[in-house]
Amino acid sequence: MRSFAFSKSFGVLCLVTLSMVSILHLVCGIGANWGTQSTHNLPPEILVKMLKDNGFQKVKLFDADYDTLKALGNSDIEVMVGIPNDMLTTLGSLKAAEKWVSKNVSIHLSDNNVNIRYVAVGNEPFLETYNGSYLRTTFPALQNIQTALVKAGHGNQVKVTVPLNADVYESASSLPSGGDFRAEIHDFVIQIVKFLSDNGCPFTINIYPFISLYIDSNFPVEYAFFDGNATPLNDGGTIYTNMFDANHDTLVWALKKNGFGNLPIIVGEIGWPTDGDRNANLQLAQRFNQGFMAHISEGKGTPMRPGPVDAYLFSLIDEDAKSIQPGNFERHWGIFAYDGRPKYLLNLGTTNSGSLVPASNVKYLERKWCVLKPDAKLDDPQIAPSVSYACARADCTSLGYGTSCGGLDARGNVSYAFNSYYQINDQLDDACKFSGLGTITKSDPSTPSCKFGITIEPYYGGAEPKLAYTRILLSLILLLWTIL
């Protein structure tokens, strides 16, 4: 669940399976990032079943939601629970850390039989865009969580780590062998690295070739993939044909130069989005993720780190409420859509079918959509503010140049915005008013490339009364907006 990040990760348990080309070889158990920044989350039980059906052996969370962790109980799936950055200051207190471990680790280990293996302290806290906000709060929180885990008797089973973005290191020579941690944060990173090493904990890094392509129009596209079509990079006789290996080994060199060359590495996030940008589409996402699976399946690792790669794919499912400050693609990283439908063919080497298994027992709302009235005129002065209102409160990231719905005409764009708002608000009649411009239809307005969604039933977990009140309040707000 990053901002401007570069990574995702996979599991390390290896098993023998048939590859896509029917050659017997080792495939490492795969992990997935499970984020929950969505307006309508699938019930955790459905997603846990989907994880198991697809052979995921590890999952990385961004918080410690009780219902999510309870659903993972007795699943044998290895779990990395997360501590958000905004909690790091509070956890500078050992007492607060002990309380957090008791509530979010101990209870689930003892009462719910959840296989918690890691606690991720923060999420990319040293990201350049944070301007040093968490530089001095991350390490104290890390120390205190580790102390609390040991005190609770979990020190051997549960390890701490800090998922960092790949922007924490760089290369003066543009070659992996020139790698070192950025000068301005060098001491902060080494402090964490030494602590991880002393306590037998891994270094977690997020690597995103897509982001490199997104921010640099001159980035060599083929170097992002694993097809061997890129111009090779020669680093003193070591040949690199893809960005992942080169980026990963830049970190290895940085660790080695600072005396920690054997520190275990987890790739916490790696993946490719499917919408929201001209380079974010189904074809490139399938090419990247399948290429990555093939690349790590033989257990060869990278030139500087031979052996199985421990990684978690980013991400399991789309999240339509994520911040789009880094880019519109942020809501489209999932290998599954919001409702648990596979987006494309992907062989993880974990199931007999060789393709993704969809979520089961998903409950949708009615098959109806909100669209612009056929007789509405596009020069109506209420069109622009209505679309702006809808897109600010819903999800219009599939509209725009190079996106899945980029080919819609003007009326289609308006209808897409209206429908997104209507669905996010649980198909409330008042959510399709738009100053009299909207109308509800049972005729699917989708096109071959652009899907007008139907939302899934709301999942409230243990908060039904509070959310029911919120929904009533929302209805009143919508009514007032249509009147005004």
- Annotated catalytic sites, by residue? 124, 269
Q: Residue 158 and residue 344: Cα distance in Å, rounded?
A: 35
Phi, psi of 468 (to 5 degrees): -65, -40
Q: Residues, the chain, total? A: 484
**Residue type present at position 273:** P
Residues 10 and 312: beta-carbon distance below 8 Å: yes
Residues 6+ apart with CB under 8 A from 432: 370, 418, 422, 438, 439, 440
In angstroms, what CA-CA distances link 464 with 205, 460, 461? 37, 5, 7
The enclosing H or E element of 189 equals: helix 186-198
For 5, other C-beta atoms within 10 Å of its C-beta total: 26
CA distances to 53, 55, 347, 349 from 352, rounded to whole Å, are 10, 10, 10, 8
What does DSSP assign to residue 81? E
3-state secondary structure of 386: helix
Contact between residue 265 and residue 310 where contact means Cβ atoms under 8 Å apart: yes
Amino acid at 149: L
Q: Which of 389, 386, 359 is nearest to 457 (CA)?
A: 359
**Rounded alpha-carbon distances, angstroms, from residue 452 to 44, 343, 358, 416:** 25, 15, 19, 7
Place of tokens 């790698």: 179
State whether the Cα torsion 114-117-119-124 is positive or negative: negative
Any long-range contacts for 341-348 (C-beta under 8 Å, 24+ apart)?
Answer: 343/274, 343/282, 343/285, 344/274, 344/282, 344/285, 344/286, 345/286, 345/290, 346/286, 346/289, 346/290, 346/293, 347/20, 347/290, 347/293, 348/30, 348/54, 348/55, 348/56, 348/293
The CA-CA-CA angle for residues 50, 52, 58, to 5°, reads 110
